[in-house]
């Protein structure tokens, strides 16, 4: 089946620190922003949106909440990996306009993706102009590494993200009290490279591998560049943020 979209020069990722339909069901600003990008990128007024709930073990309630949020605005679907069909994954994902990755256990999700070839299919989709987005695990996965609670409450360094965006990432930056100090500590110790942190409700918008802007569904949500200075100090720089409301 031919793909009815126009090509774009820059792949697009919207990495949400938190927010979207699963944590802000009454605030569609981030979700509507993503759909607007998909319309501009792909030229389809009613975009095709596929949900990947792998990080939550394809939790039925999570998937149902996705359909409740998106079915009226888009052609919604999901890709289950815990009860696989025989349909090839890559052609299905390349037909989408948005691939939305839910939260949960990032390390488990990445291992399962690699087992089924989803990691390679996502790279092809990204290069083809499909908008990649998600929150929490669905934000962290696009980077080389970052802070993850995949192993328990103590945040650890993610072993190997997809690496579409260079550097590290910390989602939920203002949502949990240990997020900021732990990220600072890991960057300061050289365990993590420099990167980006995003509050709940803030989203980092990348065109190719360059940060294009930060948008937010909450007036006070922010994102930051966090890096280690030559002297070993951690420098946190607040990034300009556009409130979508």
How far out from the chain centre does Cα 85 lie? 25
Known catalytic residues are 136, 172
Provide the pLDDT for residue 214. Answer: 98
Model pTM score: 0.94
What does the pLDDT look like over 149-160, one tens digit per residue? 998 778 999 999
How many separate helices (H) and strands (E) can be counted in the chain?
A: 7, 14
Q: Mean pLDDT for the chain? A: 94
Residue 86 confidence (pLDDT) above 70: no
What does the pLDDT look like over 168-214, one tens digit per residue? 999 999 988 999 999 999 999 999 999 999 999 999 999 999 999 99
The model's confidence at residue 9, banded by pLDDT at 50, 70 and 90, is: low
Q: Which domains does the chain have, with CATH numbers?
A: 14-243 (3.40.50.880)
Q: Which residue has the higher pLDDT, 245 or 1?
A: 245
Residue showing tokens 């990495």:
15
**Contacts by residues 176-185 (CB-CB < 8 Å, ≥ 24 positions apart):** 179/147, 179/155, 182/147, 182/155, 183/147, 183/155, 183/226, 184/226, 184/234, 184/236
Q: What is the pLDDT averaged over residues 2-7?
A: 44
Q: Please answer whether residues 51 and 228 qualify as being in contact, where contact means their C-beta atoms are separated by less than 8 angstroms.
A: no
CA distance 27 to 10: 28
């Amino acid at each position: 089946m031919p793909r009815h979209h126009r090509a774009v020069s820059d792949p697009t990722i919207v990495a949400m620190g938190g927010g979207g339909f699963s944590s802000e069901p009454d605030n569609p600003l981030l979700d509507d922003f993503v759909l607007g990008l998909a319309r501009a990128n792909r030229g389809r007024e009613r975009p095709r949106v596929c949900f990947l709930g792998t990080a939550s073990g394809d939790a039925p309630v999570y998937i149902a909440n996705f359909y409740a949020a998106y079915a009226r605005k888009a052609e919604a679907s999901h890709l289950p990996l815990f009860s696989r069909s025989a349909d090839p994954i890559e052609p299905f994902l390349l037909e989408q306009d948005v691939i939305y990755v839910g939260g949960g256990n990032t390390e488990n999700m990445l291992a399962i993706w690699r087992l089924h070839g989803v990691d390679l299919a996502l790279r092809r989709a990204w290069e083809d102009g499909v908008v990649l987005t998600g929150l929490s695990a669905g934000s962290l996965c696009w980077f080389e590494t970052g802070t993850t609670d995949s192993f328990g409450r103590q945040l650890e360094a993610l072993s190997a993200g997809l690496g579409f965006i260079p550097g590290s990432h910390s989602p939920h930056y203002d949502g949990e009290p240990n997020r900021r100090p732990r990220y600072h500590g890991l960057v300061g110790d050289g365990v993590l490279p420099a990167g980006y942190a995003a509050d709940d409700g803030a989203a980092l918008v990348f065109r190719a591998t360059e940060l294009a802007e930060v948008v937010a569904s909450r007036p006070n949500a922010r994102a930051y560049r966090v890096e280690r200075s030559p002297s070993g100090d951690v420098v946190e720089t607040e990034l300009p943020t556009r409130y979508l409301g």
